[in-house]
Structure 1
Amino acid sequence: MGFTPFFLVYGAEAILSTDLGYGSPRLQAYNEQSNCTAREDALDQLEEARDVALLHSAKYQQTLRHYQARRIRSQNLKVGDLVLRLRQSNKGRHKVTPPWEGPYIVAQVLKSGTYNLANENGEILTNAWNIEQLRCFYP
């Protein structure tokens, strides 16, 4: 965002204990008389700095939302479609074990992107599955 959280709350940058101990240039340039006027000016500009930080945050969130939206596949499955399911356990797997298991049958569409699956015998699995964990199976 370009500003520290301390600055956004208090309108000034924090002074660290190491700055006090070693006499940083910021402390050496401190002047009591000019500090009062500088503090009043800084408080007047604080709202503008908060607005700028809010704009930066909104832009970051919009960019992040756009990035996530690109990764979502717009694929809808219907009841009766055959799918492969991503393996949930690495137990007993090695590097040549396929990451997908199945095929399974889509038994029910709970909502867009969430499905109940059934095995070949028609037994419905207890968990619901997200579209990100499923792939279409083409026999």
Structure 2
Amino acid sequence: MELPAVLWSLRMTPSRATGYTSFFMVYGSKAVLPTDLDYGAPRVRAYNEQGVEASLEDAMDQLDEARDVTFLHSTKYQQALHRYHERRLRGWAFNVGDLVLHLVQSNKNRHKLSPLWEGPYIVMEVLRPGTYKLKTIDGRVFANA
């Protein structure tokens, strides 16, 4: 019975990528909690039935602005994440004769327990940095290098 509480918590927590809650991104406003209704929170008391049309138009303008801000925030977040991961990458240079594994690119005839890498292969030739001609252990040239 804790699932609804966990889901509510996830929906009400602002995302690090966007800066807004998922509830706000879907509905365009902050959620009204049941306790806000019970105890008459200022937002609930300020609700006016006659001004709904005008406030709806204002909310739509704010939603468009919030989506623009979210897009910028998300882009900034992704760039920072990219810089973080780039910092941790190391370049690898292989020489002729090195043993390497090849990442399987095709998902054809594969399932979730299939290995991600195949090989080992021997580097036959360095075509340019990061591009190699490979051969199998028994000497056959690997076609998809």
Report the TM-score, using the length of structure 1 for normalisation: 0.54
Q: 2 CA distance for matches of 1:22 and 1:79?
A: 75
Is there any run of 5+ residues in structure 2 with no aligned partner, and where?
1-17, 104-116, 123-136, 138-145
- Which of the pair is proportionally richer in strand? 1
Aligned length, in residue pairs: 92
Partner Cα distance (1:110, 1:8) in 2: 41
Deviations 1:73-115 (A, max 9, x none): 11323254xxxxxxxxxxxxxxxxxxxxxxxxx423637xx88
Using the aligned pairs only, state the percent identity: 51
Once the two structures are TM-superposed, the CA of residue 34 in structure 1 deviates from its matched residue by 2.6
Q: Which residue, 19, 27, 31 being the options, matches 2:48?
A: 31
1:107 to 90, 99, 102: 99
Computing the radius of gyration over CA atoms, which structure comes out larger, 1 or 2? 1
Q: TM-score, normalised by structure 2?
A: 0.52
Say if 2:37 is the partner of 1:45: no
- For residues 1-139 of structure 1, the aligned pairs below 5 Å read 1-80=18-97, 106-108=98-100, 110=102, 116=120
For residues 22-61 of structure 1, give each alpha carbon's deviation from its aligned partner in whole angstroms, at most 9, with x where no partner exists. Answer: 2212112222223331111111332221121011111101
Distance (whole Å) between structure 2 residues aligned to residue 45 and residue 29 of structure 1: 18
* Aligned Cα root-mean-square deviation (Å): 2.7
| 4+ runs deviating over 6 angstroms | none
Q: Gaps spanning 5+ residues in structure 1: where?
A: 81-105, 119-123, 125-139
